[in-house]
Structure 1
Amino acid sequence: MLGPGVDKGDLPKFTKRELDVLSWTSQGKTAWEVSVILGMSEKTVNFHLGNAMRKLGVTSKHQAVLKCVAAGLL
C-alpha cells in the first residue's frame, strides 16, 4: 500500500487513456459519464479502468484512485 513519501516512480506506467479514465473517475464520474466525455464506449472505459486496477494490484476503482492520489499522480 502506498503511504507517505511514496512518489510517482513507485507506480506502474499507465497509458494516456488509463490516466484519463482514472482522472475522471477521481472526480466522481461514472463509467458511462466518462464514456460520453472521452467519446468511447462504456465497455472501453471499463477496460482501461480494469487495466489500471490490475497494474496497481487493487480490486476497486476507489482503491485505484486513492493509490494514485496518494502518490500525487492525480
Structure 2
Amino acid sequence: MSFAKHSDHETPNEIVTLLELTALHFHLRTGAVGRQGSIWPETRLSTREKECILWVARGKSSQDIGTILGISEDTVNFHVKNSMRKFGCSSRTVAVVHALKSGIID
C-alpha cells in the first residue's frame, strides 16, 4: 500500500503518521488472512507499558507522556522500548499497530 499526492504543499506530520498507521494496519491485516485470533496472543505488557503505548498511539511524544504520567522521559522510553522488544519490532509506530491488533489497547 502506498500513498501519493499531487501538490506542492507539505503534508502535516499528523496526517503522515495516520497514513503510516493505515498502511501498517493494512499490511498486518492482509498478512494475517486465514489466521484465528490475535497475531501475538502471548504478548503481555505491563500496566505502565500499556499506558505509554496508548499515549504513543494518541500522538504524544515521550516528553509529553512523561508529563502526563508523572515520570521521566527516560522512563517512558524504557517502557516503550520494552514494548517494542516484546513485539519484536524496531518502531514505535509498529508497536502501536501490534498493540491495537492484539487488543492490548484500543
Unaligned runs of 5+ in 2: 1-27
Which residue pairs with 1:50 in the alignment?
81
Unaligned runs of 5+ in 1: none
Q: Which has the higher contact order (CA 8 A, sep 6+)?
A: 1
Amino acid at match of 1:44: T
Q: Please point out which of 21, 26, 30 is paired with 2:61.
A: 30
**Root-mean-square deviation over aligned CA pairs:** 2.0
Structure 1 ranges of 4+ moved more than 6 A:
none
Structure possessing the higher radius of gyration over alpha carbons: 2
Distance apart, 1:16 and its partner CA: 0.5
**Which range moved further: 29-38 or 64-73?**
64-73
Q: Please point out which of 43, 51, 61 is paired with 1:12.
A: 43
- Mapped partners of 2:40, 2:81: distance in 1: 21
Note the alpha carbon deviations across 1:19-59, whole angstroms, 9 max, x for none.
00001111000000000000000000000000010010000
- Mapped partners of 2:43, 2:93: distance in 1: 17
TM-score with structure 1 setting the length: 0.87
Count residues with an aligned counterpart.
Answer: 74
- Mapped partners of 1:30, 1:57: distance in 2: 21
TM-score with structure 2 setting the length: 0.62
